[in-house]
């Protein structure tokens, strides 16, 4: 994958990562937790958040003059970073449906 944007912002919000696998666009939400007191990182990505991120992805496409149709995928990257322990990263591809 090639990263196209990191921490891209507009008035409506922010996209953590926008990348391409040269077949389509991949929007990645990165969630990090140092403990499990608030649940696993991926549990913080609610359906409401997924819908908002889809809207932001389409805004990113407009902003970058990407008017042609291309597949758009939404992934979650969950990072567990407990103090004094090794970090773990889990990738959840295609969390949301194409919109």
**CA-closest candidate to residue 24, choices 72, 60, 56:** 72
Q: Decide if pLDDT at 7 tops 70.
A: yes
Buried residues in 44-73 as b, exposed as e (16+ CB within 10 A): ebeeebbeebbebbebbbeeeeeeeeeebb
pLDDT digits (tens, 9 = 90+) for 77-95: 999 988 999 999 999 998 8
**Distances in whole angstroms, Cα of residue 25 to Cα of each of 3, 17, 44, 84:** 10, 10, 22, 35
Domains of the chain: 2-92 (3.40.1350.10)
Alpha helices in 4-97 (DSSP H): 47-63
* 17-66 confidence digits (pLDDT tens): 999 998 889 999 999 888 777 788 888 888 888 889 989 999 999 999 88
């Amino acid at each position: 994958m090639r990263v196209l944007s990191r921490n891209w912002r507009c008035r409506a919000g922010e996209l953590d990562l926008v990348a391409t696998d040269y077949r389509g666009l991949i929007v990645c939400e990165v969630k990090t937790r140092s403990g499990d007191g608030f649940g696993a990182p991926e549990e913080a990505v609610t359906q409401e958040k997924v819908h908002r991120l889809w809207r932001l992805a389409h805004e990113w496409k407009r902003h970058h003059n990407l008017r042609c149709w291309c597949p758009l995928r939404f992934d979650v990257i969950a990072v567990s970073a407990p103090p004094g322990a090794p970090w773990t990263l889990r990738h959840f591809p295609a969390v949301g449906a194409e919109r």
